Amino acid sequence: MWYGDRVNNFQFILILLLSPLAQGIIKKIKAMMQGRVGAPLLQPYYDLARLFKKDMVIPRTASWIFHAAPYVVFSSVLAASMLVPVFSAGQSTGFLAGGGIGVSGTGDIIAIIYTLALGRFFLALGGLDAGTAFGGEGSSREMSVAILVEPSMMLAVFTAAVASGSTNLGVIAGSGSVFFSPAHVLALAAFFVAVIAETGRIPVDNPDTHLELTMIHEGMLLEYSGKYLAIMEWAHYMKQMLLFTLAADLFFPYGIAGAGAGFGIAAAAGLWAGKMLILCFGMALAESTRAKMRFFQLPSLLGAAFVLSALSIITFIMTGK
Amino acid sequence: MHPENEKYIELSAADFPRKCAEYSRRHFLRTMFAADERELDGYFRVYAVFSPMGEDRFDILTMKLREDALAYGSITPLVPAAHWYEREMRDMFGIIPEGHPDPRPLCLHGIYGDVYPLRRDVTTDDIKKSVDFSREDGYFFMRVKGEGVYEIPVGPVHAGIIEPGHFRFSAVGETIYHLDPRLFFTHKGTEKLFESRGFENGVELAERISGVSSFSHSSAYCMAVERMAGMDISPRAKAVRTLVIELERLYNHIGDIGNMCAGTGFALGYAKGAILKESLMALNARLTGSRYLRGINVIGGVTRDVFDAADDVISTLDGVKTGFKHFMEFLLDSISHIERLEGTGLLSREIALKMGATGPAARASGISDDIRRAHPHLSYGSLIFEAHTYQKGDVYSRMMVRREEAECSFSIIDSLIERRHEGELRMPAGKFPAGGSALGYTEGPRGSVFYWIKASGDGSPLRVKVRSASFCNWPLVSYAIHGNIVPDFPLVNKSFNLSYSGCDL
C-alpha cells in the first residue's frame, strides 16, 4: 500500500503523543487503589502545557551543560523511539532505520539501549551542573543504579535476541519465536525489574515523593523549571512508554503488523494499546503494594534481576527454547 | 503556698551544678528555665525541675543571681540533658552558663541585636527595634573533616508544607556521620506574650503553641494556673479533659504510624492511615467544634461536656478500632515496609536517658516514663494502664509503642465513658496569689508537656515557661540518624514526629 511505509516511519509519533496519557493512567490507577479520586487522566498534558508557558529560573552556577541536557535527553529518547517497532515491524520501518543504524528495517536493540544511556548520561550531568546537593545526590544515585541495571537488561534482551537469531528489534518482534518457555519467563522477570529501575518507580525510586533526601530521578530535575522541566518530564514519560513497548516487542511479540503475521495496522495498533494498558496496570499495582527499598539494598534486587537474566540465557542454550 | 508535690530547694550558685549532677543520677530533668524576678526580690532566678524515678514529687532546685553577676558554672558537662535549656537562658535572659560546650545561640538568630527578650524591662518594641536583617549571622556548623566528607545543606525551606528548619548533614557517600540541625527560624515571642495577656487569656495562646498538641498544651497550662490558685476542678471536668487528651493521642499516634509510610514511600499504607486519622479528626470537630480540640479548656474546667455525645464517641471509636487493627495487621504483613523500619534510626537507652528524651521516643528506647503514671493527674490516678516500652530504640519500636498506646487510649476512653462523673463543668476562677507559682503537666502525644507559671506582685503573670516534648526530643534526632544513610533521614525524622513551632516559642 502506498501509505504503508509512511505509517511505519511515523509510528514513533504514537509514543511521543501518548506517553503522557500512559503516565496519567498509571497515576489514576494508583489513586484509585489508595481510595482517592486522583487527577484527571489528561493531567500530565495540562502539566506539560503549563510548564511550557512558564518562565525559567536558571541557577547562577549553571554552564552550557545545564541548558543542553534537556535537549539531549529528549532527542535521545526520541531517537530511540524511532528505532522501535510500535505496532508494525515491516521491512524498512523505523524512521532512523534507513539511516543505517538498523540492520534491516527497525533498529538494533543494542543501539536503542545505548541511545537511552546517552540521555541518562546528560540527565546526570544536568543534575550535577546545577551545583546543588540534591542534584549531585540524585546523579550519583542514578549512576549507581544504572551500573546495576544495565547488565541485567542487556542479558534479558539477549535471550530474546538469541531465540530469534538477531539483535534487530524488527526481526525479534516479528519472529514470534519466543514463546512461554522457562527462559522467556526468567528474562521477562529480569526485564520487568530493569524497567522499574529505569522508570524510577517503587521499590527503586519514588516518583511521588516531596522528600528531597530520598530522591533519585526527581533529585536531578530539582533545579529545572519551566520549559526545560517540561522537556525533561516529557522525555521521562516517553522513556517509560518506550520501555513498555520494548517489553511488548521482546516478550509478547504477537500481533505486530507487517511481518507476515497478517495483522492490519489498525488491529496491531489496538493490540499495542492493550499491551500498554496491561503494563500500566502492572506497574501501578507493583508500585502501590510495596514500600520503597532501602537504598543500600537495591544491589540485591538488581543483582537478583541479573541472576534471573543470566539463568534465562543459560536455560535457553541448554533447552534450546 | 506551693502545690503539695512541689519541693523548692534553695541553693547557692556555687552548689548548684554539683547538686544538679547529684540529682540527675536518680531523677529525670523535667525542665530548666530562668525568671526575671527583680520586681519581687531584686534577683534573677534559675530553676531546674527534677522528678525522682517512681515518685510523684518534683524537686525544684533554684538559685538566685544578681543582675551584675549573671554567670554560673554550666551544668551541661555534668547533666547533658540541660544543654538546650542553658543555651535558651543565655539567649533570653543573658544568663551565662560558664563552661557550656556549645557557645552558639539557640533561639535568637543573628538578626537580633543585644537584647534579652524575656527580661521584664525589655519591651516588645525594644525587641523589634533591635532586629536588623542585614546583620551578619556569624553562626557556624559543626564540621566533619576527612577525605570524601561532604556537606548536604537541607532547608530551611522544604519541599513539603512544613515549618522551617535547617539540617546540615556531613556524609561520606550515603552514610551520615553528623547531623547539625538549626531550628528556631520563626521565633514568635510566645512566652513574652503570655506575660501581657493575664492568666485567663493565656489558654488560647497555649492552644496555639503546637497544632496537633493543642489540647495537651492547654490542659497543662490550665492545670498550672489552677494549681497556683489552689482550685480543684470537678471530677467531671477532669474526666472530660482526660478523655480529650486521649482523643488527641489517638489521632496523633494513628496519623504518625500512617505518616511513617510516607517515609518509606508506601503509598497504600499512608492512604489507609490518613483515612483513619480523618475519621478521628471529624469526631473531634463534632464533639468540640474544632478538629484540633481547641476552645474546650478554660481556667477552672471545660466549656462542654463531651460525655453528652458518648454514643457518637463509642460508635466512631468502634469503627476506628477495627480499622486500626486491620491497618496494623496490614502494615506488619507488608514486609517491604517493616524491613525499612527495623534497625533504622537507633537511639540507645543510654543516650535517650542522658539527653532527656521524652514520650514514645523515650519509651521505645526502654525508658519507662509516662507522666500519666509517674505523676497521676486528672482522672489518671483511678485508671489502670501501663507505660508501654520497647527496648531496641529503632523506628520500628517507636511505631510499636504508638500502636500499643493507641490501643490503650481506646480502653481508657471506654472505661471513662462507663463511669459517672459528678460536678460542675466549670468553676469560677478565684484570685491569683501574688508571687504564687506552680507546675502544670501532662503526657501529650509526643511526650511530656510542662508549664511553670509565676504570678507577680499584683497577681498578673510574671513568667510562663513552656516546655514542649519537641524541645527535649529534637536534639535526639542527630544521635538516632548517626551512621544511617541519607535517604533514611525523612523516615527517622517522621518516627519522632517533632514540632518546630512547639519548641520555637
CATH of the domain at B419: 1.10.645.10
Residues B233 and B222: their CA atoms lie apart, in Å, by 10
Q: ∠ CA(B79), CA(B80), CA(B83), 5° rounding?
A: 110
Tens of pLDDT, residue by residue over A100-141, are 333 344 678 888 988 999 999 999 999 999 888 899 999 999
Interchain contact, B151 vs A133, CB within 8 Å? yes
Q: Does B269 touch chain A (CB under 8 A)?
A: yes
DSSP bridge pairs for B72: B97
DSSP bridge pairs for B442: B449
Q: Which helix (H) or strand (E) holds B58?
A: strand B58-65
Of A214, A291, A296, the CB nearest to B266: A291
Q: Are A123 and A73 in contact (CB under 8 A)?
A: yes
Interchain contact, A209 vs B339, CB within 8 Å? no
Of A33, A210, A296, the CB nearest to B485: A296
SS3 assignment, position B475: helix
> At residue A293, what is the residue type?
M
Write down which residue in B97, B124, B139 finishes a domain. B139
Verify that B227 and B109 share a domain, yes or no.
no
Q: Does B278 touch chain A (CB under 8 A)?
A: no
Contacts of A286 in chain B (CB under 8 A): none
Q: Does B153 touch chain A (CB under 8 A)?
A: yes
Verify that B344 and B423 share a domain, yes or no.
yes
Count CA within 13 A, CB hemisphere, residue A227: 9
Query: Taking the model in full, what pTM does it have?
Result: 0.92
Pull the grid cell for residue B199: 492568666
Residues A291 and A7: their CA atoms lie apart, in Å, by 42
Verify that B128 and B216 share a domain, yes or no.
no
Q: In chain A, where are the structural domains located?
A: 4-319
Of A203, A211, A213, the CB nearest to B336: A203
Under DSSP, the state recorded for B300 is: T
CA proximity to B356, closest of B3, B85, B73: B85
Give the count of domains, chain B.
2
Q: Which helix (H) or strand (E) holds B52?
A: strand B43-52
Contacts of A203 in chain B (CB under 8 A): 265, 336
Residues A47 and B178: their CA atoms lie apart, in Å, by 39
> At residue B492, what is the residue type?
V
Q: Which residue has the higher pLDDT, A162 or B478?
A: B478
The CA–CA distances, whole Å, from B322 to A26, B316, B327, B328, B410 equal 31, 10, 8, 10, 11
Verify that B356 and B461 share a domain, yes or no.
yes
**Helix, strand, coil % in chain A, rounded to nearest 5:** 70, 0, 30
CA-based nearest distance B397→chain A, Å: 18
Instruction: Answer left, alpha or beta for residue A9, where phi above 0 means left and psi between -120 and 50 means alpha.
Output: alpha
Tens of pLDDT, residue by residue over B447-474, are 999 999 999 988 899 999 999 999 999 9
Verify that B194 and B134 share a domain, yes or no.
no
CA proximity to B93, closest of B382, B465, B368: B465
Instruction: For residue B37, count other CB atoms closer than 10 A to its CB.
Output: 19
Whether residue B332 lies inside any domain: the answer is yes
Report the pLDDT value the prediction gives residue B155, as an integer from 0 to 100: 83
pLDDT 10s per residue in chain A (321 long)?
A: 344 555 666 788 999 999 999 999 999 999 999 999 999 999 999 999 999 999 999 999 899 999 999 999 999 999 999 888 887 765 444 444 444 333 344 678 888 988 999 999 999 999 999 888 899 999 999 999 999 999 999 998 888 888 888 888 877 877 665 567 888 889 989 999 999 999 999 899 998 888 889 999 999 999 999 999 999 999 999 999 999 999 988 888 777 765 444 557 778 888 899 999 999 999 999 898 889 999 989 999 999 999 999 999 999 888 877
Whether residue B167 lies inside any domain: the answer is no
Indicate whether B213 pLDDT > 90.
yes
Whether residue B154 lies inside any domain: the answer is no
Q: Does B268 touch chain A (CB under 8 A)?
A: yes
Three-class secondary structure assignment of B143-187: CCCCCCEEEEEECCCCCCCCCCCEEEEEEECCEEEEEEEECCCCC
SS3 assignment, position A177: coil
The residue with cell 542522658 is B354
Which residues of A touch chain B, with CB atoms under 8 Å apart? 30, 33-36, 133-134, 137, 202-203, 206, 208-214, 287-297
Whether residue B267 lies inside any domain: the answer is yes
Verify that B251 and B104 share a domain, yes or no.
no
Q: What is the chain A residue with the closest CA to B155?
A: A212
Verify that B200 and B95 share a domain, yes or no.
no
Whether residue B91 lies inside any domain: the answer is yes
Under DSSP, the state recorded for A130 is: T
Q: Does B157 touch chain A (CB under 8 A)?
A: no
Q: What percent of chain B has pLDDT over 90?
A: 87
Cis peptide before A299 (omega within 30 of 0): no
Whether residue B166 lies inside any domain: the answer is no
Tens of pLDDT, residue by residue over B413-437, are 999 999 998 999 999 887 888 999 9
CA-based nearest distance B423→chain A, Å: 45
Pull the grid cell for residue B75: 551544668
Pull the grid cell for residue B39: 520586681
CA end-to-end span of chain A: 36
The CA–CA distances, whole Å, from A309 to A162, A201, B28, B424 equal 13, 20, 58, 75
Report the pLDDT value the prediction gives residue A260, as an integer from 0 to 100: 46
Domain assignment of residue B90, given as a range: 6-139
The CA–CA distances, whole Å, from B339 to A204, A294, B120 equal 14, 8, 53
Q: What is the chain A residue with the closest CA to B340?
A: A294
**Radius of gyration for chain A, computed over Cα atoms and rounded to the nearest angstrom:** 19
Q: What is the mean pLDDT of residues B194-199?
A: 92
CA-based nearest distance A198→chain B, Å: 17
Of B268, B340, B488, the CB nearest to A33: B268
Q: Are B82 and B424 in contact (CB under 8 A)?
A: no
Contacts of B266 in chain A (CB under 8 A): 290-292
Tens of pLDDT, residue by residue over A288-306, are 888 999 998 999 999 999 9
Q: Are B93 and B66 in contact (CB under 8 A)?
A: no
Of A30, A295, A297, the CB nearest to B267: A30
Report the pLDDT value the prediction gives residue A5, as an integer from 0 to 100: 55
Report B:335-354 residues touching A (Cβ under 8 A).
336-337, 339-340, 344
Contacts of B489 in chain A (CB under 8 A): 213
Of A35, A213, A293, the CB nearest to B490: A213
Pull the grid cell for residue A185: 519467563
Report the complex ipTM.
0.87
Verify that B328 and B424 share a domain, yes or no.
yes
Verify that B252 and B352 share a domain, yes or no.
yes
CA proximity to B440, closest of B431, B449, B429: B449
pLDDT tier for residue B121 given thresholds of 50, 70 and 90: very high
Contacts of A208 in chain B (CB under 8 A): 265, 267
Interchain contact, B266 vs A293, CB within 8 Å? no
CATH of the domain at B75: 3.30.460.80
Q: Are B217 and B207 in contact (CB under 8 A)?
A: yes
The residue with cell 539477549 is A158
